[in-house]
Chains A and B, each alone.
Chain A
Amino acid sequence: MIPEIGHFLLWLAMGVALVIGVVPMAGAARGRADWMALARPASYLLAALVTGASACLMASFLGNDFSVLYVASNSNSMLPTEYRIAGFWGGHEGSLLLWVQMLVIWMVAVGLFSRHLPREVLSRILAVMGLVSVGFLLFMLLTSNPFDRLFPPAPDGRDLNPLLQDPGMVAHPPMLYMGYVGFCVAFAFAIAALIGGNLDATWARWTRPWTTVAWMFLTIGIALGSSWAYYELGWGGWWFWDPVENASLMPWLLGTALIHSLAVTEKRGSFKNWTVLLAILAFSFSLLGTFLVRSGVLSSVHAFATDPRRGLFILAFLTIVIGSSFSLYAWRAPTVGLGARFALFSKETALLANNVLFMVAAGAVLLGTLYPLILDALGLGKISVGPPYFDSVFMPLMAPTFFLMGVGPMARWKETSVPDLAQRLRWALGVTVVAAIGTGWLAGSIHLVATCGLLMSFWIFSSVATDFWERVRPEGKGFAELRRRVGQIPRALAGMMVAHIGVAVFCFGVTMVKTYEVESDVKMAVGDSTTVSGYQFTFQGVKNVQGPNYEATRAQIEISKGGSKVSELHPEKRVYRVQQNPMTEAAIAPGFTKDLYVSMGEEVEGGAWIIRVYVKPFIDWIWGGCMLMALGGLMAVSDRRYRRKGGVAA
């Protein structure tokens, strides 16, 4: 019964979404207050219906209802509860429902935090979001119903993919989808502004916090996915330039450009066309990602089970949404004003250059991701484009953005003097060079590429420090003023600094681990040990372990440094009972300055095992940096001006 209720709720939701998509939009065009007034309450109703449907699906999972095909395919009676919850978004149909669930959550948020928005604007925004939800609901109802029944019901489920049975994977999709879907808000704001003709600084001020929050979630989502790959997949890597990873990176790059572009439009009224285009692009790439993962056009480890019919539907949806957005853009953008004037050397120019660089970077990732498809479609053969290509192309493209990250915040609006800028930054430059070379020397060897990475990283650290110092100690007023001035720094600014530091931390982590990582593959009998980077790893044997839904062979590795014990690790080789696939669980001793990583290879004669030992310096700085970026976003959003009662004055 419950699945049928869920299914019914989805149909009702579609009806309501259709109403939201049409009526308030028409109301805004015609000035019909009653039609526009429908938007908010209808959005709340839509949210209630979709949440109800989600609750039905969740109930089916928690209750082990294997008469529901989707539950039978993604769950099992022995599956621990938290993974039964995660099973909801473990497959294609449920993940679509998650998408729509996130969308209605954002719609409710927009409804709640929009007292300051003019009626027409709010109506158009919710209408656009409603139309997007119509597309997804229709997709689900016509081709991917999570509530399809299985007759006769399966005696037990096929189990959730063991790779997904992990806390990181529980949180990763919801965070990611909050991000993807959050860009729909910026998109809706953009479309509303293009339709209504009110593209201005105020519009930017409204849009900015929504975009920042969405970006924050996307950053966290990507970081979670990457760190999960690191500790779960047993290969020690954390980014493979897989098409689906790229599908999440591209909206992130465009979203980052969007945040920066919005800053300019808000502050100076400039770049309106760029900003609106970026808002459309960020969400378009989110949708494109949805297509790439589910259509089967690209081979990916993340891809859901494919069906060309589904691919066709998403492509049609994509064409309608993005096609009409770009058409609207082409029609309305020429009439948009230029905003305030700015000189050749100014903060505006720095940010505009930043826009260009991020867009080129996203374009390069898109080119590499789709190139195999393009060649194949043209009958020109089959190639693969993998990490060697992306690494060699992407890093150089992003390098100039690091330079700008140091220069931009220090530049002044409207006009800035280059000699003045150089003078203010000369200390930072000096520290950067010394620190980069010094770090290499301390680490034991200096390499060209590593030094470039360190230069980029330290450049940001020192330029942020310079910026901070300038603000809290102008004209040498003395340290008494210091505390007061620090408190005076607006949250938005502090958020920027923290986020940029996050980038520096990220870059440092990547550079250090790629350059100075040490690996050792050894054959270990009980009692054998190996020494890597000063740490002694001793193999103490294996034992068999029963997990809730798996059997494992668990090794015991003792780690000591300088004679005293530091840690004990238990890597495992698991076989999940239902799907019978073997999995390697690496064991990691994380640390601030390095991770100790151990995984099991094969058993060899005499009860010995092949053991892989890694010492990875500063690898956690990669995800630490991402978290700092997200924290910076949070700080920026909590800025006073977004919390003024009644919203921001126009």
Chain B
Amino acid sequence: MAKLTRLLAWLCLAFVVGTASANEAAPASADPVLEARMLHITAELRCLVCQNQTIADSHADLAIDLRQQVREMLQKGQTDQQILDYMTARYGDFVLYRPPVKSTTLLLWVGPGVMLVAGLVMLVLILRRRSRMPADKFDAEPDEEAVGKP
């Protein structure tokens, strides 16, 4: 009898110890992969209420609702583009942090590249022109101060 009691006691202890050891925390959301996708998409969307945060980060009610909306759409199997289109249909292009490429934003997307090319072309032209100038157009050589290069 005593042996049995002791066995039971050990079993109980083992059971208690087993459940009392640190539990691995469950992910905050039911489906972490979906959640990650949702956050990835909503990070591209502008919160219309506070307007200086993404829908992924905002605590505004509308942002919370929209995150939930996106979760549901992802569960239904919608693609990223479909979800972005859904948002744009309701809130306009303003809601996209990545401006769409259309005729009105062509200058925006192409601008930096054009500036770069223009700048480099200008650079080359200036250098070319300088190299063709006679020596007298330039200032005399400055005396090299022995204080290092820069």
Binding site for B on A (CB under 8 A): 201, 235, 240, 242, 263, 267-269, 299-301, 337-344, 347, 349, 352-353, 356-357, 359-360, 363-364, 367-368, 371, 375, 380-389, 393, 397, 409, 413, 489-490, 492-493, 496, 520-525, 527-531, 538-539, 601, 610-611, 636, 639-641
Encoded as 1 (CB less than 8 Å from any A CB) or 0, chain B from 112 to 129 comes to 100110011011001100
B15 within 8 A of A: no
Of B4-12, B24-32, B74-82, the one touching chain A: B24-32
Encoded as 1 (CB less than 8 Å from any A CB) or 0, chain B from 63 to 74 comes to 000000000000
Q: Which residues of the partner chain A approach B133 to less than 8 Å between Cβ atoms?
A: 338
Q: Which residues of the partner chain A approach B53 to less than 8 Å between Cβ atoms?
A: 235, 301
8 nearest A-B residue pairs (beta carbon): A386-B97, A388-B98, A490-B148, A364-B112, A301-B52, A522-B25, A528-B25, A521-B28
Beyond the given A344-B127, A527-B22, please list 16 additional residue pairs across the A-B interface where CB-CB is below 8 A: A267-B150, A338-B138, A343-B131, A360-B112, A375-B104, A375-B105, A381-B104, A384-B94, A387-B97, A388-B98, A397-B116, A492-B147, A522-B25, A522-B27, A538-B22, A611-B28
Q: Which residues of the partner chain A approach B140 to less than 8 Å between Cβ atoms?
A: 340
The 24 listed contacts between A and B (C-beta, < 8 Å) are A268-B142, A299-B52, A339-B139, A340-B139, A342-B130, A344-B127, A353-B123, A356-B123, A357-B116, A360-B116, A364-B112, A367-B107, A367-B112, A383-B94, A384-B95, A387-B97, A389-B108, A393-B112, A397-B112, A527-B22, A528-B22, A529-B22, A538-B22, A611-B25
**A493 touching B44, Cβ below 8 Å:** no
Q: Report the minimal beta-carbon distance from B42 to chain A, rounded to whole angstroms.
A: 13
Q: How large is the interface on B (under 10, 10 to 19, 20 to 34, 35 or more residues)?
A: 35 or more
Q: A382-B93, A388-B98, A538-B22 are in contact. Are A357 and B111 (CB under 8 A)?
A: no
B149 within 8 A of A: yes
B90 within 8 A of A: no
CA distance in complex: A493, B150 (Å)? 6
Q: Report the minimal beta-carbon distance from A534 to chain B, rounded to whole angstroms.
A: 15
Binding site for A on B (CB under 8 A): 20, 22-29, 32, 35, 44, 46, 50-54, 57, 92-100, 104-105, 107-108, 111-112, 115-116, 119-120, 122-123, 126-127, 130-131, 133, 135, 137-142, 145, 147-150
Q: Which residues of the partner chain A approach B149 to less than 8 Å between Cβ atoms?
A: 267, 347, 409, 413, 493
CA distance in complex: A352, B131 (Å)? 15
Q: Which residues of the partner chain A approach B24 to less than 8 Å between Cβ atoms?
A: 528-531
Q: Which residues of the partner chain A approach B119 to less than 8 Å between Cβ atoms?
A: 356-357, 359-360
Q: Report the minimal beta-carbon distance from A248 to chain B, rounded to whole angstroms.
A: 16
CA distance in complex: A433, B147 (Å)? 34
CA distance in complex: A641, B148 (Å)? 11
CA distance in complex: A389, B28 (Å)? 30
Q: Which residues of the partner chain A approach B100 to less than 8 Å between Cβ atoms?
A: 383
Chain A residues touching B, majority SS: mixed
CA distance in complex: A389, B32 (Å)? 27
Most buried by A among B20, B29, B108, B127: B108
Q: Which residues of the partner chain A approach B145 to less than 8 Å between Cβ atoms?
A: 641
**A340 touching B25, Cβ below 8 Å:** no
**A371 touching B108, Cβ below 8 Å:** yes
**A341 touching B104, Cβ below 8 Å:** no
CA distance in complex: A245, B92 (Å)? 25
Q: Which residues of the partner chain B approach A393 to less than 8 Å between Cβ atoms?
A: 112
**B123 touching A367, Cβ below 8 Å:** no
Q: Which residues of the partner chain B approach A375 to less than 8 Å between Cβ atoms?
A: 104-105
**B46 touching A384, Cβ below 8 Å:** yes
Q: Report the minimal beta-carbon distance from A487 to chain B, rounded to whole angstroms.
A: 13
Q: Which residues of the partner chain B approach A496 to less than 8 Å between Cβ atoms?
A: 150
**A338 touching B27, Cβ below 8 Å:** no
**A383 touching B112, Cβ below 8 Å:** no
Q: Which residues of the partner chain A approach B142 to less than 8 Å between Cβ atoms?
A: 201, 267-269, 340
Q: Report the minimal beta-carbon distance from B88 to chain A, rounded to whole angstroms.
A: 11
**B22 touching A389, Cβ below 8 Å:** no
For B44, the closest partner residue in chain A by CB is A388
Q: Which residues of the partner chain A approach B150 to less than 8 Å between Cβ atoms?
A: 263, 267, 409, 492-493, 496, 636
**A367 touching B108, Cβ below 8 Å:** yes
**A528 touching B28, Cβ below 8 Å:** no
Q: Which residues of the partner chain B approach A240 to less than 8 Å between Cβ atoms?
A: 52
**B138 touching A339, Cβ below 8 Å:** yes
Q: Report the minimal beta-carbon distance from B136 to chain A, rounded to whole angstroms.
A: 11
**A521 touching B27, Cβ below 8 Å:** yes
**A338 touching B137, Cβ below 8 Å:** yes
CA distance in complex: A385, B104 (Å)? 13
Among A235, A364, A386, A493, the residue within 8 A (CB) of B115 is A364
For A410, the closest partner residue in chain B by CB is B149
Q: Which residues of the partner chain B approach A349 to less than 8 Å between Cβ atoms?
A: 127
Most buried by B among A383, A496, A525, A538: A383
CA distance in complex: A349, B131 (Å)? 12
Q: Report the minimal beta-carbon distance from B38 to chain A, rounded to whole angstroms.
A: 11
Q: Which residues of the partner chain B approach A492 to less than 8 Å between Cβ atoms?
A: 147-148, 150
**B22 touching A383, Cβ below 8 Å:** no
Q: Which residues of the partner chain A approach B138 to less than 8 Å between Cβ atoms?
A: 337-341
Q: Report the minimal beta-carbon distance from B29 to chain A, rounded to whole angstroms.
A: 7
CA distance in complex: A375, B99 (Å)? 12
CA distance in complex: A229, B149 (Å)? 38
CA distance in complex: A522, B22 (Å)? 14
Q: Report the minimal beta-carbon distance from B33 to chain A, rounded to whole angstroms.
A: 12
Q: Which residues of the partner chain A approach B141 to less than 8 Å between Cβ atoms?
A: 340
Q: Report the minimal beta-carbon distance from A285 to chain B, rounded to whole angstroms.
A: 16
